[in-house]
Amino acid sequence: MKKISLFLTALLAASSALAANNQAAPQQENAKTEFMFGAKAANDPVGIWQKDGRHFSKKDLSKQFCWTLTNFRSDSGNVNITITLTSPKNTNFNLGEHISKNTTTHIFNFTYPITQTYYNCWAFEESDPEGKYTLTVKANNTTFPTQVFTLTK
């Protein structure tokens, strides 16, 4: 089972930190929304992006998958984020208290207060099926490009 427990912690930390930054940097209002996906160090979800962030090994515990969405603006009071993950075989995904069991398509919906940055990181476990995975993130009515990545032994 994939454990994606950093999502809520990371998002709340980003919200608090960015609230202060948003007041200090009004020029960011015209900044372009940016979606990024790849690997980061397992102990540093806000750190630098690592090389070869599309291929992961179950034995490599030094990195995790992450995605970030920065400079996202919304006219409503909240941002609705839908995360869709596909796996090569039936498996389980766990995002905090949201669980998707024994399927190849995993869809999670969240509603968050507006911040300028959202991100999520997770790691694979030994029991996860090897092969091709996809990730699609949608924020309100904006769907970002589907990301394809692989898991090996």
| pLDDT given at position 97 | 86
Q: Over the stretch 9-58, which tens digit does the pLDDT of each residue have?
A: 344 344 434 433 433 334 345 678 899 999 999 999 888 999 888 999 99
**Tokens standing for 28?**
């960011």
Tell me whether residue 29 is in a domain. Answer: no
pLDDT score for 73: 81
DSSP state of 48: P
Considering the domain boundaries, does residue 28 fall inside one? no
**Which range of residues forms the domain containing residue 12?**
2-23+34-152
- Residues 64-116 pLDDT 10s: 999 999 988 887 778 999 999 999 999 999 888 889 999 999 999 999 888 88
> What's the pLDDT at 27?
39
Tell whether 13 is covered by a domain.
yes
**94 versus 146: which is more confidently predicted?**
146
Higher per-residue confidence, 147 vs 18: 147
Alpha helix locations (H) across the chain? 6-24
Three-state DSSP class for residue 114: coil
Calculate the alpha carbon distances from 120 to 11, 75, 88, 153 in Å.
7, 23, 21, 23
The burial of 40, by beta-carbon neighbours within 10 Å (0-12 exposed, 13-18 middle, 19 or more buried), is given as: buried
Indicate whether 8 belongs to any domain.
yes
Give the tokens for residue 46.
Answer: 């806000």
Number of domains the chain is built from: 1
Question: pTM of the predicted model, to two decimals?
Answer: 0.79
Per-residue pLDDT at 143 exceeds 90: yes
Residue 58 in any domain: the answer is: yes
Q: Which of 19-23, 78-82, 136-140, 142-146 has the lowest mean pLDDT?
A: 19-23
Give the model's pLDDT for residue 29: 56
Residue 11 maps to a domain: yes
Residue 85 within any structural domain of the chain:
yes
Residue 129 in domain: yes
User: What was the pLDDT predicted at 86?
Assistant: 97
Per-residue pLDDT, 77? 79
CATH number of the domain residue 71 falls in: 2.60.40.1930
CB atoms within 10 A of CB 132: 11
